[in-house]
Amino acid sequence: MADCRSYSHGVEHSDDQQPLPEVLVLDRPAIFAFHEKKFEKKFHLLKAWESSLPMEEFLKNHARSVKAILCSFRTRIRADVLNLLPSVELIACESTGVENIDLVECRKRGIIVTNAASAFVEDVADMAIGLLLSVLMKIPAADRDVRFKLWPKNMTFPVGHFKLREKQIGVVGLGNIGLQVAKRLEAFDCSISYTSRKEKLSSYKYYPNIQELALHCKILIICCALTEQTHHIINRNIMEALGKDGIVINIGRGPLIDEKELVKCLVEGKIGGAGLDVFEEEPCVPKELFELDNVVLTPHRAGFTEQAFFDDFQLLVGNIESVFSTTKSLILPLPNSTLPSW
Amino acid sequence: MADCRSYSHGVEHSDDQQPLPEVLVLDRPAIFAFHEKKFEKKFHLLKAWESSLPMEEFLKNHARSVKAILCSFRTRIRADVLNLLPSVELIACESTGVENIDLVECRKRGIIVTNAASAFVEDVADMAIGLLLSVLMKIPAADRDVRFKLWPKNMTFPVGHFKLREKQIGVVGLGNIGLQVAKRLEAFDCSISYTSRKEKLSSYKYYPNIQELALHCKILIICCALTEQTHHIINRNIMEALGKDGIVINIGRGPLIDEKELVKCLVEGKIGGAGLDVFEEEPCVPKELFELDNVVLTPHRAGFTEQAFFDDFQLLVGNIESVFSTTKSLILPLPNSTLPSW
């Protein structure tokens, strides 16, 4: 029973010889690339993916008394998992998006869900602008040309799509990230409008209907949360409304766009370009996109800077510690567990 | 004498049968990719590179009465060329930088020099930000990884250098482009300082000494004109002052940086990254740079958008027409032909 030993409770102790509190981790979070050891100094981590047991058996045998779960952005938690974890009080997500957590079920059971709050907000917004400028000016395509020594042969390298100045930009989802994206684009003398579940207090023009927004814009930047309502919010109609020069930037979640239709629209020239950090079936990326110079592809890394992970680490630790402490309180729960804003 | 015939004077006529005014073009301007035909409707273009004659003979035989020259950003005009062109009144450059024109010699001879003025300013500033974000977030490297199908194997893709927010950014040359770069970076909550030949009216902190600027900054954005004073303004000392996380962005001219030392500093890890649109010996790029993921390389294309070229076209036509007209006046000469601001 090597497996049992390696997950026996209370083996690790803190410096003052108190056993470390147990935290369940179902799959490896991205933040472990930087802070795994520091988490291990604070908590006894039950790493489900290191066990040879099937998940259900592992949870039954080792996690029934677990009060806190640390989730990667991929960790899926539904009623079936929660049924095996009767003691859970907190689900702490490393990411901003919590679309893989069944928030309704958590609320029913009185389980608190927390996310990365503002830890990644500015860096994700920076990435949105980086992707937009990369698509507009074909920076990765130009960089490939130079590295493949095509410059001397190809002096008429294609120019940028169009001036960014004075362009109409549509922000889809004016939450924390959308607001930071809009603020940055104002400095490029762009005109900002947005759609969102409801009108926000802002000076930007609001379109309740995304089709209307797309008709008035050259560029759409997708910043909203993935929910049942926003799944495939960018479909063929929206892309056709955006038009053949139109550009779509997605730093939200892959399923916000109907990816098959996006690929068709790009291949058929129905839209002008796309900057995509997220995809419907990560890490799979439609191979048709690899041939296109008006597309920029990054592997779900928006906001991944050392400093953002450090902020996230502090937030996660603070939230998890609050479960085991009578003096510390939660840093920041999700404002409304059933309705993520977009 | 096929060559002579193809360059015989006054063959082309305007719609009202007036012979088109002659304009000398020494090498093919980038703007011809878009507007060559439109230039040909307005002027009889003497295209030196299409002649089989050696340049000197071509100029002696066909260009002695030429009043206007249209220059590419590569066209080199010194006293030896001007000696063969006694009638020249105007040199109209397609680019912002006029480092290949001997401005002192032009002033002596009463020749007016014009440049692209503000036609490319915003787009070049956009490119500076695009290069910076591309380096910071390794966007072209990430795009290559996705296209080479490395994502599933490489889930720990390296994260971005650091948060842009609250970083100290040094703008080298606070002219039109530098000001637009600074304005954009303020929206990313960066702190801007600059060096320039002299202090400008601005709220940004001024360092008369570039070494001091580099010591206080993480990022240098090179926006100044290339002159004798600014040649190799970024040398090894400056890069070492910037430090191992430091990033250099160059959207000015290649020789503003000591390229050999830049390559060494990048290879040795003395600085953290570079975004380069310009190089010392274009179109040659040091091959050591091709191996580096913290470097983004574009083939001297900052500001090349269709709209910028259209603005430039109108400016060039207006300036050239003023030479042949008694009613039209020059749109914009260089403010001071001997001292380009930086």
Whether A289 contacts A254, CB under 8 Å: no
A317-322 contacts: CB < 8 A, separation 24 or more? A317/A38, A317/A39, A317/A42, A319/A90, A319/A92, A319/A114, A320/A21, A320/A23, A320/A42, A320/A43, A320/A68, A320/A70, A320/A90, A320/A92, A321/A21, A321/A42, A322/A90
Please check whether residue B340 lies inside any domain of the structure. no
ipTM of the complex: 0.90
The partner residue sitting opposite B186, judged by closest CB among A129, A187, A284, is: A187
Write out chain A residues lying below 8 Å of B134, CB-based: 130, 133-134, 139-140, 143
Residue A329's pLDDT band (cuts 50, 70, 90): confident
Q: What is the pLDDT of residue A7?
A: 46
The span from the CA of B340 to the CA of B342, in Å, is: 7
Give pLDDT tens digits for B248-257.
Answer: 999 999 999 9
Q: Does B105 touch chain A (CB under 8 A)?
A: no
| Same structural domain, A154 and A89 | no
Does pLDDT of A78 surpass 50? Answer: yes
Q: Does B235 touch chain A (CB under 8 A)?
A: no
Round the average pLDDT of chain A to a whole number and report it. 90
Which CATH number goes with the domain that contains B67?
3.40.50.720
Whether B24 contacts B63, CB under 8 Å: yes
Residue B117's pLDDT band (cuts 50, 70, 90): confident
What is the helix (H) or strand (E) element at residue B22, kind and residue range?
Answer: strand B22-25
Please check whether residue A337 lies inside any domain of the structure. no
| Same structural domain, B128 and B272 | yes
Whether B69 contacts B87, CB under 8 Å: no
Please check whether residue A227 lies inside any domain of the structure. yes
| Same structural domain, A109 and A191 | no
Give pLDDT tens digits for B128-171.
Answer: 999 999 999 999 999 999 999 888 766 555 566 678 999 999 99
Does pLDDT of B3 surpass 90? Answer: no
| Same structural domain, B141 and B286 | yes
* End-to-end C-alpha distance for chain A, whole angstroms: 48
The span from the CA of B72 to the CA of B78, in Å, is: 15
Q: What is the pLDDT of residue B342?
A: 56
Tell me the CB-side half-sphere exposure of residue B107, using CA atoms within 13 A.
10
| Same structural domain, B64 and B172 | no
Please check whether residue B71 lies inside any domain of the structure. yes
| Same structural domain, A107 and A243 | no
The partner residue sitting opposite B301, judged by closest CB among A131, A142, A297, is: A142
% of chain B at pLDDT higher than 90 = 80
Task: Calculate mean pLDDT across residues A89-103.
Answer: 94
Most B-contacting residue of A151, A162, A289 (CB-CB within 10 A), to test interface = A151
% of chain A at pLDDT higher than 70 = 89
Would you mind telling me the total number of residues written for chain B in this entry?
Answer: 342
Task: Calculate mean pLDDT across residues A147-158.
Answer: 73
Tell me the catalytic residues of A.
Answer: 253, 282, 300
Give pLDDT tens digits for A163-182.
Answer: 899 999 999 999 999 999 99
Q: Side by side, which strands form the sheet with A90-93?
A: A44-47, A22-25, A68-71, A90-93, A112-114
Tokens of A286: 């439609």
Please check whether residue B111 lies inside any domain of the structure. yes
- Other Cβ atoms within 10 Å of A54 Cβ, number: 9
Does pLDDT of A296 surpass 80? Answer: yes
The span from the CA of B134 to the CA of B247, in Å, is: 11
| A 238-267 → B contacts, CB under 8 A | none
| Same structural domain, B247 and B315 | no
Task: Calculate mean pLDDT across residues A143-171.
Answer: 81
Contacts of residue A148, defined as CB under 8 A and 6 or more positions apart, other chains included, come to none
The span from the CA of B226 to the CA of B178, in Å, is: 14
Q: What is the pLDDT of residue A223?
A: 96
| Same structural domain, B154 and B263 | yes
Please check whether residue B184 lies inside any domain of the structure. yes
Give pLDDT tens digits for B320-337.
Answer: 999 998 888 777 666 544
Does pLDDT of B215 surpass 70? Answer: yes
Write out chain B residues lying below 8 Å of A137, CB-based: 126-127, 130, 298, 301
Q: Does B161 touch chain A (CB under 8 A)?
A: yes
Give pLDDT tens digits for A234-279.
Answer: 999 999 999 999 999 999 999 999 999 999 999 999 999 999 999 9
Q: Does B312 touch chain A (CB under 8 A)?
A: no
Give pLDDT tens digits for B274-297.
Answer: 999 999 999 999 999 999 999 999
Residue B187's pLDDT band (cuts 50, 70, 90): very high
Does pLDDT of A342 surpass 90? Answer: no
- Other Cβ atoms within 10 Å of B159 Cβ, number: 20
Q: Which domain holds residue B68?
A: 2-118+306-324
Q: What is the pLDDT of residue B7?
A: 45
Does pLDDT of B4 surpass 60? Answer: no
CA nearest to A225, candidates A262, A177, A296, A180: A177
Q: Does B292 touch chain A (CB under 8 A)?
A: no
Please check whether residue B207 lies inside any domain of the structure. yes
Please check whether residue B339 lies inside any domain of the structure. no
Task: Calculate mean pLDDT across residues A295-323.
Answer: 93
* End-to-end C-alpha distance for chain B, whole angstroms: 47
Does pLDDT of A202 surpass 80? Answer: yes
| Same structural domain, A114 and A125 | no
Residue A157's pLDDT band (cuts 50, 70, 90): low
| Same structural domain, A48 and A172 | no
Round the average pLDDT of chain B to a whole number and report it. 90
The span from the CA of B301 to the CA of A157, in Å, is: 8
Contact call for B186 and A189, based on CB within 8 A: no
Q: What is the pLDDT of residue B262?
A: 98
Task: Calculate mean pLDDT across residues B177-194.
Answer: 97
| Same structural domain, A268 and A141 | yes
Does pLDDT of A297 surpass 80? Answer: yes
Q: What is the pLDDT of residue A315?
A: 94
Residue B85's pLDDT band (cuts 50, 70, 90): very high
The total domain count for chain A is 2
Q: Does B291 touch chain A (CB under 8 A)?
A: no
Give pLDDT tens digits for B19-78.
Answer: 999 999 999 999 998 899 999 999 999 999 999 999 999 999 999 999 999 999 889 999
Residue B15's pLDDT band (cuts 50, 70, 90): low
Residue A160's pLDDT band (cuts 50, 70, 90): low
A19, amino acid identity: P
Angstrom CA distances, A134 to A156, B22, B165, B305, stand at 18, 40, 20, 13
| Same structural domain, A42 and A103 | yes
- For tokens 């296209």, the residue is B147
